[in-house]
Chain A
Amino acid sequence: MLAFLVQRISQAILVMFVISVIAFAIQDGLGDPLQQMVGMSVSEEERDAIRDEMGLNDPLVVQYLRFAGNAVQGDLGISYFYGKPTLDVILEHLPATLELAIGASLIILFFSVPIGVYAAIRPQALLSKFFMGVSTVGISIPVFLTAIVLIQLFSIGVTVDMFPADTGWGQNLNSALSTEGGLPSYGRGDELTHLFGTWHSGFFSQGGLLHLILPAISLASIMLPLFIRLIRAEMMEVLQSDYVRYARAKGLQPGRINFLHALKNTMLPVITVGGVQIGTMVAYTILTETVFQWPGVGLMFLEAITRSDIPLIVAYLMVVGLIFVITNTIVDLIYGLVNPTVKLTGKKA
C-alpha cells in the first residue's frame, strides 16, 4: 500500500512540477505586469526600479521558485479583469463546472454500462445494432453541435408544416416532428441554493435542474458513445475468455456470469480509460459552457483568453492541472481496490 501510494504521489508531484513550469513560462513570456500596473508615462528608469523591486530582474530560477512558493500557498496572482485574487475568481466559478460535470457523469454512468453490456451479450440483436449505429454517429458529432441542435429542438422549438395540414396523417406527422421548446439554454437560472463558501447549487431547485438538463446532456453526448463502445468491446473480449467458459462449465446462472465474472473484469480497463477521459471532459466543459453561457471555469477561461487576462489563464492551468492529477491518482487507487492483482491492501500475500 505504502509503496503504491508513494509511487503515485511522487508521479503526481512530478506532473504538477511540469505544469507549473509551463504555467510559469506562459506568465513570464506573455504577461508584462508592469504594463498593466503603470501607465505609459512612466520613464524607463522608474520602470527598471519597479522591476527590481518586484524581482522581475532576478534570475529565472529564483523567479520560478517564488512563483511556485506562492502557488503552494494558494497565491496565484491577481486577475487583471476582476481585480481580485485569481484563486477566488476560480473558486467562485468552479461549483458550476463541477455540477455540470457531475450531471454529465451520472448520465454517462447510467446509460453506458447497461447499453454496453447488452450490446456485448446480444451482439446480433437489432437493438444492439441500433445502439452501436447511434454511437458511431454520436462520436462524429462535435459537442458544441449537439448543444446547438438540442437548443434548437428543446429550447427554441421546431415547427414542422411540410405535410398537408388538411389531412389527418399530415397533421399527425407535423405535430410528431415538431417540438415544444421552452427548456432554458442560458446560464444556471436564479433559483440557486447556497450550500457553503462559494458553492451555490442548482441541484436543489426545479429551476436549477431545468437549466442543467441541456448542458449536461450535451456534455454527456460526446463521452457516452465512447464508453458504450469501450464497454462493449472489453466485455466481448472477456466473454471469450477461459474463465467465463469455466464459469459456464460450473453451471452458474447467466446473470452471475455476465454481471459478476465478466463485468468486473470489463470495468478494469474502463476505469483506466475513464481516468484519462476526465481530461477530455474538462476540455469539453469549455465548449459546452460557451454554448450555454454556463458560468463555470471553462467560460471564465475563454473570456480570460479574449481579455488577455494572463494571471487568470495561468491560475486556471494550475488549478485544472491539479484537478487532473488528483482525479487520476484517485482513479488509480480505485483501480487498485477493484483489481486484486494490484497490491495495496497491505495484507500479506
Chain B
Amino acid sequence: MALLEVKDLDVRFAVRGGDLTALRGISFSLDKGERLGLVGESGAGKSVAAFSILNLIARPGYIAGGQILFEGKDLAAMSERELRKIRGNRIAMIFQDPMMTLNPVLSIGTQMVEAIKAHRRISTKDARAIALSKLNKVQIPSPEKRLDQYPHELSGGMRQRVIIAIALLLDPEIIIADEPTTALDVTIQAEIMALLLELCEQDNVALMLITHDLGVVSQVTQRMLVMYSGRIIEQGSTREIINDAQHPYTQGLINALPQMGEPGERLFQIPGSMPSLKNVPTGCPFHPRCKFATEQCKRTMPEYVRSGNVDVACYEVSNLIEQEKHMQESEQ
C-alpha cells in the first residue's frame, strides 16, 4: 500500500454565480521515501493540490469529492481535530515565501517549540533541545542565537533553513514543499534544494515537490506529475518524461527550456496561454493551444493511456499507440 494515495480529487471554489473547478479528477500516489515532482505553469492548480492534502485550501475553496488516503485513512473525510494530529506531525509543509511564512512578532524559538508541543507532551526545555538539534541539522550558523531572534533578523535563505528545520521537528513521513526556493536569490536556491534533498534521503522522508522548474524536478525527483488547468495530463518516471515527453504540452514545456535550444536561437514558446478557471474549454483543456488538436479533443477529455512507465491523457498519443499496435499486429 502506498503511503499517500489521492483518488479522484475534485476541488472547487465557491464564488458568486456558481462553483469554479480548480482540480478535476486528480489521482496519484506517493510511496515511503519517494520523491515526487508536481510541475505546471502558475495557475495550473499545483499549489491547490498541495494544500488540499492537509485540507488547508483557503476559503472559498473546498474539497468537493475524492479521497486522500494517508496510511489507508481518508484525510478528506477527517474532522479538524483528527487532521490537526497529522498536520506538522506526520505530514509537514514548506511554504513558498519564507518572508511571509514565519510570524513576524514571534521569536524563532517560540515558533519551533510550539510546533513540538502541539504534538508531544514535553517540557519547553526538551523542546528547545530538539529545536536546536534540528537547526544544527540544517547547517544554520550559530543556531543557539537563532532561537531568540525574530524572523526579520534573518536573511531569506536562513529563514527557509529554519522552515525546513521546523518541517523536520517531529520526523514526519511526508514533506510537502510548495516552490520552496522560488522566492529566494538564485545563488541560494541550489543550496537550499540540495539541503532539502540530502535531509529527505537521510531520514527516508517522502517529498512532494511543487515547482515550475523542470531542471530541479529532473535532479531531485523519481516520479513527476504534469498539471494543466486543474488536471494531471501526464505522470510517471521523471527520467522518461524528461527524455521523451509524450503529451504535447509537456513537450512544449521541455522545448521551452533555454538549454534545449542552440545559442542565439529564439526560445521556443507554447502559443497562447493557460485558460482561467472561469472559462475552461470543453474536452481536453489544452486543445486551443495544441497543434495536434482534433474535433475529438474539443469534445471529450481523453482517458489515460500507458506508454512505458508513463500515463498520458492525450488522444494523439493514444492514437499513435493504437497505430503502433496495428502495425505490429499486421507485421505478425
User: B103 and A265: CB pair below 8 A?
Assistant: yes
* Contact flags A307-349 to B (C-beta < 8 A → 1, else 0): 0000000000000000000000000000000111100000001
One of B113-121, B190-198, B209-217, B293-301 at the interface: B113-121
Taking A246-B93, A246-B95, A341-B152 as contacts, is the C-beta distance between A253 and B104 under 8 angstroms?
no
A161 CB to closest chain B CB, in angstroms?
Answer: 49
User: A264 and B88: CB pair below 8 A?
Assistant: no
Q: Is A177 an interface residue (CB 8 A)?
A: no
User: B56 and A251: CB pair below 8 A?
Assistant: no
Chain A CB within 10 A, most for which of B92, B100, B102, B104: B104
A176 CB to closest chain B CB, in angstroms?
Answer: 41
How many angstroms between the C-alpha atoms of A65 and B88 in the bound complex?
66
B203 CB to closest chain A CB, in angstroms?
Answer: 18
Which residues in B have their C-beta under 8 angstroms from that of A243? Answer: 100-104
* Contact flags A237-272 to B (C-beta < 8 A → 1, else 0): 000111101111111111010001100110010000
Taking A252-B115, A341-B150 as contacts, is the C-beta distance between A261 and B106 under 8 angstroms?
yes
4 tightest A-B CB contacts, nearest first = A251-B87, A251-B88, A250-B88, A242-B100
User: A338 and B105: CB pair below 8 A?
Assistant: yes
User: B103 and A247: CB pair below 8 A?
Assistant: yes
User: A250 and B115: CB pair below 8 A?
Assistant: yes
Chain B interface residue bracket vs A: 20 to 34
Taking A242-B95, A245-B58, A260-B106 as contacts, is the C-beta distance between A250 and B118 under 8 angstroms?
yes
Q: Is B326 an interface residue (CB 8 A)?
A: no
Taking A243-B103, A265-B104, A339-B105 as contacts, is the C-beta distance between A248 and B56 under 8 angstroms?
yes
In the complex, chain B residues 81-97 whose Cβ is within 8 Å of any chain A Cβ: 84-89, 92-93, 95, 97
Which residues in A have their C-beta under 8 angstroms from that of B88? Answer: 249-252
In the complex, chain B residues 54-76 whose Cβ is within 8 Å of any chain A Cβ: 54, 56, 58
Chain B CB within 10 A, most for which of A240, A241, A245, A249: A249
B315 CB to closest chain A CB, in angstroms?
Answer: 39
User: B105 and A242: CB pair below 8 A?
Assistant: no
Which residues in B have their C-beta under 8 angstroms from that of A253? Answer: 84, 118
Which residues in B have their C-beta under 8 angstroms from that of A254? Answer: 80
B110 CB to closest chain A CB, in angstroms?
Answer: 9
Which residues in B have their C-beta under 8 angstroms from that of A247? Answer: 103
B72 CB to closest chain A CB, in angstroms?
Answer: 20
B147 CB to closest chain A CB, in angstroms?
Answer: 14
User: A340 and B58: CB pair below 8 A?
Assistant: no
User: B104 and A341: CB pair below 8 A?
Assistant: yes
Q: Is B166 an interface residue (CB 8 A)?
A: yes
Which residues in A have their C-beta under 8 angstroms from that of B87? Answer: 248-251
User: A349 and B118: CB pair below 8 A?
Assistant: no
5 interchain pairs, CB-CB under 8 A: A242-B95, A242-B100, A260-B106, A264-B105, A341-B104
Q: Is B201 an interface residue (CB 8 A)?
A: no
A285 CB to closest chain B CB, in angstroms?
Answer: 33
B257 CB to closest chain A CB, in angstroms?
Answer: 29
How many angstroms between the C-alpha atoms of A254 and B87 in the bound complex?
13
Which residues in A have their C-beta under 8 angstroms from that of B103? Answer: 243, 246-247, 261, 264-265
How many angstroms between the C-alpha atoms of A172 and B95 in the bound complex?
61
A317 CB to closest chain B CB, in angstroms?
Answer: 38
Which residues in A have their C-beta under 8 angstroms from that of B150? Answer: 340-341
Which residues in A have their C-beta under 8 angstroms from that of B152? Answer: 340-341
How many angstroms between the C-alpha atoms of A265 and B107 in the bound complex?
13
How many angstroms between the C-alpha atoms of A264 and B56 in the bound complex?
22
In the complex, chain B residues 125-154 whose Cβ is within 8 Å of any chain A Cβ: 149-150, 152-153
- In the complex, the chain A residue whose C-beta lies closest to that of B169 is A250
B108 CB to closest chain A CB, in angstroms?
Answer: 11
- In the complex, the chain B residue whose C-beta lies closest to that of A123 is B59
